[in-house]
């Protein structure tokens, strides 16, 4: 990368950035000490990332290097790289198709494609860099990686989508009304389902209706990352942020499990761009109105996304107001108007949210607003405590040698991103130009980070922190781009090259094999649950639901998440499995699939049973009837009638 | 065609073509989908964005959004308009929420946007009109990719390879080949298999129904062998009686409910009715040693038969 006038170097007597960097080192050391009290990979990787990022910044902040040349590929070679990316994507598609599912080689190939793209961004010289082409590569890769999986996988990937698609979307499309929503919280958040229903009518099924509308919008909305990041760094690094986002595991997750969260994320991307535009150009009317429209679209799409939007808008409005009052010189143009506009957007969104939630039904007699306030109150008073971390939740299947390493491999990409984002955040706090915009993105990143990880440290998970992670990646990739910019301008060439090579190879590979990016076919299948089903498993659900419907037969037991599919398709009540020496206790029907023997399942010991040697053989014991079988799944019923038990 | 409006003309043509493809019967689904995706995701939003921003992006801080942002706004605006049209039809009580009114209304909104965009462009200097197709050529595309000569050919070929791969992926079978068998209460498949332990009468015909579903993607023959067995405590078979042995041929995706009548002579309590199902592929021979699928049902056989 060549040099450019560094807009982030400002003359200020108060080096907040240095203070925070030093504080970051201290915090990292203290957090590392938590390892003595709890075993959780994040308690290692987060302090490491914070410490590394802070240390890198402290080492490089004094250097005045006129650019650090990192170009390796000349224009002649780089001209073939786009072709290599497309061929790589074709290989991903073909191998997935031939195998019928993604395998470890496919995941690694996906990571290789990501490395190729990031490598083009970081190591091609200026003459050979074509931002338009790379942006096209990123967007095509994002769509192909997700849609190839969606189309090859039977049914749906994930848990919630079965309800969204088969109950709500299909209900709207076939009944032509919103009656299927009645009593559901989605009656006040219907955007996802209405789009899916329109798609279902055009493409013939709820599955295609969702995949060919929202399934395409979500990966393509990544383009907003490019436009947003360009407000902070040159185009090359805006491309880096875009690629980092497109290959992030949590972002891929919502491209595979396509539910209202996914659409909420897409609208959020648009909103972030528009708010940064408002800061940048001084509250142009179209930007303000579109930002308001985007916010309201989120309110009527997904409640958790709305909470995140309110946090974002609240911070933006507060920063605009404070900067206008305290330091207007370092803010953007028309700062008073910008502050007023953002306060207005936040205010309207907040009021709309409160009114909407006050009328959103949730449960038998409550509304969403009061129910959530109650949940928050209970979570704060009953479930919290320092280091009250989420349980591991393992199934009965045993681990393999080297299993301890898997979480760290999966978190490598996030660790790299966090470390470089720390550098970028410190850089933005150092500069005095466009303080409003810079401070907003830093505070949004820090706040979302605290919501996701900080509150979880105390066992507070009522806000569903797992849903916030993908949104956290938005400010993180912007900050990471700024961090790479700083390192390229100020770091020694050797250090910078090492960092960039590690980022290029480590980030996409780690993300490609991570749990949340491989819901359909985990790269480490003995560690993580598969949230997709074979056509045999789905066929069994359909047939069993037809021959012995749940509403007339009561419940049945099978492993999670397979039980969720039975609940949605067949209306079965989910029953817990108690196993005694002779077989299941307390249930008269079980469904056994091969996956249970490969990956284990949860069960409780029946009273008077101390241990079991082969629990897998007892789920459908020889003394039970086996009344349904296909090449994978069996449905077994108790030989005792109700009166005999 | 005015150089100001080549993109808008294309939008109009695609909107009308897509509307017809979706509404007219007999159109191949591949064409319907290829046109349906842009009809829902691109055209309405593009018309809206073009109406909002008739001038092309510039390097200035203020002004219309850049091309990538316009792409993003096009997608989200399309999503918003599709949702708005759909919700409007769902809430009003005059017109049914169905395919035809949705398509017509959405096409109308798109064409309205095109009209507004065309009108607003009339006051914009020709070289500032936001028409991405203006001046487009293979040379500009190659320039955008930063490739020349052989490199451009390589990119073009690789895109064709990717398109071919996607087409190949589209040939994926809907389901893995498999068969399924289950006990039913008879023709009325809503009556599921019975629970508990059933009672059969020795020497008398006992009716039973077995369903077989062929999802092997080809015709398949099935042989079903039914036995009643007496087992000891350890599950070892002490005595057995073959009750039935029949074959049935099923076409691909055919499910047949087969009613049979069993007349056991072996009597006793907690006997096992054991069904072994063998698949026989067309032109193939079956290995009758190991059954492909098995079912079992515990029964009490009463009456004057042998113990």
pLDDT tens digits, A430-477: 876 688 899 999 999 999 999 898 877 777 676 778 889 999 999 999
User: Is residue A404's pLDDT more than 90?
Assistant: no
Binding-face residues of A in 48-77 toward B, CB within 8 A:
75
| Cβ atoms of A513 and A410 closer than 8 Å | yes
A474 in contact with B, Cβ within 8 Å? no
How far is A63 from chain B, CA to nearest CA, in Å? 31
How far, in Å, CA of A415 to CA of A421, rounded?
10
DSSP state of A516: G
Chain B residue numbers touching A96 (CB-CB < 8 A): 169
| CA angle centred on A268, ends A264 and A274, rounded to 5° | 150
Give whichever of A267-281, A318-332, B192-206 has the largest mean pLDDT: A267-281
Per-residue pLDDT at B205: 86
Chain A residue numbers touching B296 (CB-CB < 8 A): 625-626
Per-residue pLDDT at A66: 54
Per-residue pLDDT at A3: 37
Per-residue pLDDT at A402: 67
Per-residue pLDDT at A392: 42
Cβ–Cβ gap A93/B90 under 8 Å:
no
Closest CA to A500 of A122, A120, A2, A81: A122
Peptide bond into B151 cis (omega under 30): no
The structure tokens listed for A128 are 């050979």
More confident residue, A374 or A285: A285
User: Which residues are A578's β-sheet partners?
Assistant: A585, A604
Per-residue pLDDT at A286: 94
- Out of B144, B180, B182, closest to residue A132 by CB: B144
Per-residue pLDDT at A616: 81
Per-residue pLDDT at A148: 92
User: Is residue A560's pLDDT more than 90?
Assistant: no
- Out of A83, A208, A644, closest to residue B158 by CB: A83
- Out of B90, B190, B296, closest to residue A177 by CB: B90
pTM: 0.92
- Strands B206-215 and B255-262, how do they pair? antiparallel
User: Is residue A8's pLDDT more than 60?
Assistant: no
B201 vs A626, B230, B231, B276, B295, CA distance in Å? 21, 16, 19, 22, 21
How many residue pairs from chains A and B have C-beta atoms closer than 8 A?
282
Cβ–Cβ gap B73/A83 under 8 Å:
no
A106 in contact with B, Cβ within 8 Å? no
Q: Dihedral through CA A275, CA A277, CA A283, CA A288, nearest 10?
A: -50
More confident residue, A179 or A218: A218
- Out of B29, B61, B102, closest to residue A198 by CB: B102
Collapse the DSSP code of A584 into the 3-class scheme (helix H, G, I; strand E, B; otherwise coil) and give the result: strand
A336-365 pLDDT, tens digit each? 889 999 999 999 999 999 999 988 887 667
How far, in Å, CA of B168 to CA of B162, rounded?
10
Per-residue pLDDT at A394: 31
How far, in Å, CA of A21 to CA of A15, rounded?
10
How far, in Å, CA of A449 to CA of A441, rounded?
12
Per-residue pLDDT at A5: 44
Per-residue pLDDT at B291: 86
| Cβ atoms of A122 and A500 closer than 8 Å | yes
More confident residue, A276 or B288: A276
Mean pLDDT of the region A52-73: 74
User: Is residue A263's pLDDT more than 90?
Assistant: yes
Cβ–Cβ gap A93/B166 under 8 Å:
yes
A142-172 pLDDT, tens digit each? 999 999 999 999 999 999 999 999 999 999 9
Q: Is the ipTM of this complex over 0.95?
A: no
Mean pLDDT by 10 residues, chain B (307 residues): 76 96 92 94 97 87 87 97 95 88 96 96 87 69 66 84 85 83 66 66 87 93 94 90 94 92 91 94 75 92 72
A223 vs A220, A228, A236, A266, B144, CA distance in Å? 6, 9, 14, 10, 17
Q: What is the overall mean pLDDT for chain A?
A: 87
How far is A634 from chain B, CA to nearest CA, in Å? 9
A562-611 pLDDT, tens digit each? 999 999 999 888 777 888 888 888 788 899 999 988 887 888 888 887 77
Per-residue pLDDT at B166: 85
A486-514 pLDDT, tens digit each? 998 887 888 888 999 999 999 999 999 99
């Amino acid at each position: 990368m060549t040099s450019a006038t560094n807009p982030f170097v400002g003359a200020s007597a108060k080096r907040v950035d240095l203070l925070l960097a030093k504080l970051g080192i201290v915090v990292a050391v203290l957090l590392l000490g938590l390892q003595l009290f709890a075993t959780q990979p994040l308690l290692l990787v987060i302090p490491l990332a914070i410490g590394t990022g802070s240390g890198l910044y402290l080492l490089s902040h004094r250097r005045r290097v006129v650019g650090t040349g990192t170009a390796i590929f000349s224009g002649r070679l780089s001209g073939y790289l786009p072709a290599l990316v497309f061929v790589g994507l074709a290989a991903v598609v073909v191998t997935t198709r031939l195998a019928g599912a993604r395998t470890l080689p496919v995941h690694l190939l996906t990571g290789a494609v990501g490395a190729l793209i990031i490598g083009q961004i970081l190591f091609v010289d200026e003459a050979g860099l074509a931002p338009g082409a790379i942006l096209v590569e990123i967007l095509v890769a994002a769509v192909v990686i997700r849609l190839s999986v969606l189309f090859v996988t039977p049914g749906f990937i994930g848990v919630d989508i079965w309800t969204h698609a088969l109950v709500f979307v299909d209900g709207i499309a076939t009944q032509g009304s919103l009656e299927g929503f009645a009593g559901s919280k989605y009656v006040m958040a219907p955007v996802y389902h209405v789009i899916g229903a329109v798609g279902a009518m055009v493409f013939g099924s709820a599955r295609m209706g969702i995949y060919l509308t929202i399934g395409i919008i979500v990966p393509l909305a990544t383009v907003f990352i490019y436009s947003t990041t360009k407000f902070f760094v040159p185009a090359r690094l805006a491309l880096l942020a875009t690629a980092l986002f497109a290959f992030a595991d949590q972002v891929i997750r919502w491209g595979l499990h396509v539910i209202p969260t996914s659409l909420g994320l897409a609208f959020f991307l648009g909103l972030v761009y528009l708010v940064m535009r408002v800061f940048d150009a001084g509250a142009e009317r179209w930007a303000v109105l579109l930002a308001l429209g985007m916010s309201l679209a989120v309110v009527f799409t997904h409640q958790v996304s709305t909470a995140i939007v309110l946090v974002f808008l609240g911070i933006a409005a507060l920063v605009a107001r404070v900067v206008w009052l305290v330091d207007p010189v370092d803010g953007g143009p028309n700062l008073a108007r910008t502050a007023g506009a953002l306060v207005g957007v936040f205010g309207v969104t907040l009021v709309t949210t409160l009114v909407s939630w006050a009328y959103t039904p949730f449960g038998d007699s409550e509304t969403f607003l009061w129910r959530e306030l109650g949940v928050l109150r209970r979570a704060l008073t009953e479930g919290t405590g320092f280091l009250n971390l989420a349980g591991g939740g393992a199934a009965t299947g045993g681990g393999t040698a080297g299993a301890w390493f898997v979480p760290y491999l999966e978190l490598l990409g996030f660790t790299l991103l966090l470390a470089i984002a720390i550098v970028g955040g410190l850089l933005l706090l150092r500069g005095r130009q466009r303080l409003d915009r810079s401070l907003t993105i830093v505070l949004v990143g820090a706040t979302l980070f605290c919501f996701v990880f900080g509150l979880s440290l105390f066992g507070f998970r009522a806000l569903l922190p797992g849903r916030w992670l993908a949104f956290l990646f938005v400010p993180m990739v912007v900050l990471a781009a700024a961090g790479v910019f700083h390192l390229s301008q100020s770091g020694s060439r050797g250090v910078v090259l090492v960092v960039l090579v590690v980022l290029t190879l480590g980030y996409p590979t780690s993300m490609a094999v991570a749990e949340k990016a491989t819901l359909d076919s985990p790269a480490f299948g003995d560690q993580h649950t598969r949230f997709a089903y074979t056509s045999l498993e789905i066929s069994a659900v359909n047939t069993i639901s037809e021959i012995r419907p749940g509403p007339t037969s009561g419940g049945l037991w099978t492993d999670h998440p397979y039980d969720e599919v039975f609940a949605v398709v067949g209306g079965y009540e989910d029953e817990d499995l108690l196993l005694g020496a002779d077989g299941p206790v307390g249930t008269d029907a079980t469904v056994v699939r091969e996956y249970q023997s490969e990956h284990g399942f949860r069960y409780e010991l029946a009273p008077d049973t101390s241990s079991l040697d082969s629990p897998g053989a007892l789920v459908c014991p020889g003394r039970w009837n086996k009344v349904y079988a296909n090449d994978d799944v069996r449905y077994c019923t108790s030989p005792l009638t109700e009166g005999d038990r | 065609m005015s150089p100001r409006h080549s993109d808008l003309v294309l939008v109009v043509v695609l909107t009308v073509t897509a509307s017809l493809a979706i509404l007219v019967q007999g159109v191949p689904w591949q064409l319907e989908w290829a046109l349906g995706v842009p009809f829902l995701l691109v055209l309405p939003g593009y018309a809206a964005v073009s109406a909002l921003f008739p001038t092309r992006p510039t390097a200035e801080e203020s002004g219309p959004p850049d091309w990538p942002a316009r792409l993003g706004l096009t997608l989200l605006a399309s999503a918003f308009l599709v949702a708005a049209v759909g919700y409007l039809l769902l809430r009003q009580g005059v017109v049914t929420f169905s395919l035809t009114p949705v398509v017509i209304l959405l096409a109308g909104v798109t064409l309205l946007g095109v009209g507004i965009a065309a009108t607003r462009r009339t006051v914009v200097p020709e070289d500032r009109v936001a028409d991405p197709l203006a001046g487009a050529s293979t040379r500009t595309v190659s320039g955008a990719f930063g490739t020349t000569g052989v490199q451009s050919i390589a990119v073009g070929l690789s895109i064709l390879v990717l398109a071919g791969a996607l087409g190949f992926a589209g040939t994926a079978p809907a389901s893995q080949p498999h068969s399924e068998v289950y006990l039913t209460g008879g023709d009325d498949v809503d009556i599921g298999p019975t629970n508990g332990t059933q009672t059969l009468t020795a020497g008398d015909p006992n009716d039973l129904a077995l369903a077989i579903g062929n999802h092997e993607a080809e015709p398949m023959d099935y042989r079903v062998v039914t036995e009643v067995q007496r087992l000891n405590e350890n599950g070892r078979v002490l005595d057995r009686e073959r009750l039935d042995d029949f074959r049935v041929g099923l076409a691909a995706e055919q499910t047949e409910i087969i009613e049979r009548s069993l007349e056991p002579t072996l009597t006793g309590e907690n006997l096992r009715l054991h069904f072994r199902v063998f698949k026989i592929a067309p032109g193939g021979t079956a290995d009758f040693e190991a059954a492909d699928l098995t079912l079992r049902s515990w029964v009490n056989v009463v009456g004057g038969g042998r113990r």
